[in-house]
Amino acid sequence: MSERSVLVTGASGYIGSHTCVCLLQNGWRVIGIDNFSNSSPKVIPRIEQIAQLPMSFHRLDIRDTSALSEILRQEHITAVVHFAGLKSVSESVAKPLDYFDNNVCGSVALLRVLQQEGIRKLVFSSSATVYGEPTSVPVTEEASTSATNPYGRSKLMVEQMLSDLINSDATWRIATLRYFNPVGAHESGLIGEDPRDVPNNLMPFIAQVAVGRRPQLQVFGDDYPTVDGSGVRDYIHVVDLARGHLAALDRLLNHAGSFTVNLGTGRGVSVLQAVAAFEQASGRTIPLQRAARRSGDIATCYASATRATELLGWQAEYGLDKMCADHWRWQHNNPDGY
């Protein structure tokens, strides 16, 4: 069997690191790149430790096109999984140009080099954020798209750019994956999410309260039209998400054409339900403080996961209890992150 090689941008990040493990374990040769703007060099040996296999790694910004071309010429790349980008909604409002430069210009730079080097298979990290405020749930891939902040707009812009690229040249095969809310960690406890500042997202915040780094969790909103008044989301285990990338790559290798799929579980979970599950998994109490709704938040969002199953033969396997247990093991073993 000829060796398959995949370039992973953002390889040392949260989702990238779990996906590298999954790719290595499934016979891919992995060439990772990252500029460490939101991750640590310590991640790479941990990926190799879990997989018991080596990977190549280059510290690189995706906007450095000459260094990128050089790497692509050295390695024989079959496909690219493109995670690199900035992901904080609140930071994107404060620093919009950083977000457009990294996420949009970075993707343009990457795509130009891929085009130049004749690489036409790409998996792109999009987000459920492109659905804006969904008019109905579960959200299907046909739902209308919109964005309410620069981060979301940067994802939509790249999606539109990819669609124009596919229209210009049918030899491209592009998988656009819209992630819902990734949580959890590898069950080894060696890799996981390690926010640099105060976590924006729910699960890492709960985990830092559980481990004693923060006194309490603020629950944003208690009067949403949901089961208990708190916001409802589709949390998905990061290892299930990583497996989704493997399935998308397999599809791109074996079928012409491009596609967009949701990666979610199809199940909605409220903030209070997530807290209860985390308390159960960790054996710790999470002190709560009721707070006003967070600006820009929506009441309910969860995926229709049907297309991913039909097209990719993929579905999420892990439930909320395992998401919390694995997230907690990572946080407990690494209270201050990497």
Residue 204 touches ligand NAD, criterion: CB under 6 A: no
Which residue is catalytic, options 14, 99, 131, 151?
151
User: How far is CA 214 from each of CA 244, 281, 286, rounded to the nearest angstrom?
Assistant: 33, 18, 10
CB of 130 to ligand NAD, least distance (A): 9
Residue 294 binds which one of ligand WQD, ligand NAD, none, with CB within 5 to 8 A depending on kind?
ligand WQD
The interface region with ligand WQD, picked from 61-69, 70-78, 138-146, 194-202 by CB under 6 A, is 194-202
Residue 57 touches ligand NAD, criterion: CB under 6 A: no
Alpha-carbon span 180 to 112, nearest angstrom:
28
Report residue 29: phi and psi, to 5°: -85, 130
Residue 36 touches ligand NAD, criterion: CB under 6 A: yes
Alpha-carbon span 325 to 189, nearest angstrom:
10
Structure tokens at 135: 């008019």
Q: Are 151 and 86 in contact (CB under 8 A)?
A: yes
CB of 151 to ligand NAD, least distance (A): 7
The interface region with ligand WQD, picked from 8-16, 160-168, 213-221, 259-267 by CB under 6 A, is 213-221
Binding mask 165-194 for ligand NAD (x = CB under 6 A): --------------x--x------------
Residue 62 binds which one of ligand WQD, ligand NAD, none, with CB within 5 to 8 A depending on kind?
ligand NAD
Annotation says 151 is catalytic: yes
- Greatest alpha-carbon pair distance for the chain in Å reads 57
Number of residues that bind ligand WQD (CB under 6 A): 18
Judged by CB under 6 A, the chain residues 126 through 155 that form the site for ligand NAD are: 127
Q: Quick one: CA dihedral 91, 93, 96, 100, positive or negative? A: positive
Q: Are 40 and 13 in contact (CB under 8 A)?
A: no
Residue 16 touches ligand WQD, criterion: CB under 6 A: no
Residue 106 binds which one of ligand WQD, ligand NAD, none, with CB within 5 to 8 A depending on kind?
ligand NAD
- Nearest Cα residue to 111 out of 147, 71, 158: 158
Alpha-carbon span 183 to 204, nearest angstrom:
8
Binding mask 143-172 for ligand WQD (x = CB under 6 A): ------------------------------
Alpha-carbon span 288 to 277, nearest angstrom:
14
Residue recorded with tokens 């579960």: 138
Alpha-carbon span 113 to 119, nearest angstrom:
9
Parallel, antiparallel, or unpaired for β 4-9 and 28-34?
parallel
Number of residues that bind ligand NAD (CB under 6 A): 26
Residue 271 binds which one of ligand NAD, ligand WQD, none, with CB within 5 to 8 A depending on kind?
ligand WQD
Which one, 28 or 180, has the nearer CB to ligand WQD? 180
User: How far is CA 131 from each of CA 60, 61, 230, 262, 315, rounded to the nearest angstrom?
Assistant: 31, 29, 20, 11, 21
Member of 167, 196, 294, 333 binding ligand WQD (CB under 6 A): 294
CB of 198 to ligand WQD, least distance (A): 9
Q: Are 110 and 80 in contact (CB under 8 A)?
A: yes
- CA within 13 Å, CB half, 160: 11
Hey, which residues are catalytic here?
151
Residues that bind ligand NAD (CB under 6 A): 10, 12-16, 34-39, 61-63, 83-87, 102, 106, 125, 127, 179, 182
